[in-house]
Amino acid sequence: MPVKILIPTPLRSFVGGSREVEVEGRTVGDALRNLVQRHGQLQKHLYADDGKLRSFVNVYVNDEDIRYLSKGETPVQESDVLSIVPPWRAAWRQRPPPSRSTRRRSAATAGTSSCRRWVSRVR
């Protein structure tokens, strides 16, 4: 039975630019394997070298996270929609906190420039 898989923007170039792809499969694992079989470049993005789904790849069946269902063995029906959700954490990386010496220097000189500007206006 055909199952619709929604492809995230970062992976669309590997499926010919399509937003969604229909593949055959009775379980989530079957559907994803058929997707990778049809579009081989997705293999390294979805699966680790040991053949398991990468830990940072999130897959949903009708808005239900498969990690809380039966993972790859979660059954799918023709009306189900699978969504591959990319990891957003990498896109929201923050700079590391400043070192202690940087914080001290910043605190010590914080008011200096504004004070100089005020003095120059008064003169």
Q: Could you read off the pLDDT of 24-67 as tens digits, one per residue?
A: 999 999 999 999 999 999 998 898 899 888 888 899 999 889 98
Q: Is the dihedral of CA 20, 8, 75, 44 positive or negative?
A: positive
Could you read off the pLDDT of 73-85 as tens digits, one per residue? 999 998 899 999 8
Would you list the domain boundaries of the chain? 2-92
CA–CA gap between residue 29 and residue 51 (Å, rounded): 11
Helix (H) or strand (E) holding 102: helix 100-109
How high is the pLDDT of residue 25?
A: 93
CB 53 within 8 Å of CB 31: no
CB 72 within 8 Å of CB 29: yes
Could you read off the pLDDT of 105-122 as tens digits, one per residue? 555 555 555 445 444 444
Q: Burial code of 98-110, b = ≥16 C-beta within 10 A, e = fewer?
A: eeeeeeeeeeeee
Helix (H, G, I), strand (E, B) or coil at 8: coil
Of residues 107 and 92, the one with the higher pLDDT is 107
Could you read off the pLDDT of 6-28 as tens digits, one per residue? 999 889 999 999 999 999 999 99
pTM: 0.68
Number of helices and strands (H, E) in the chain?
Answer: 4, 5
How high is the pLDDT of residue 63?
A: 87
Give domain 2-92's CATH architecture: Roll (3.10)
How high is the pLDDT of residue 106?
A: 52
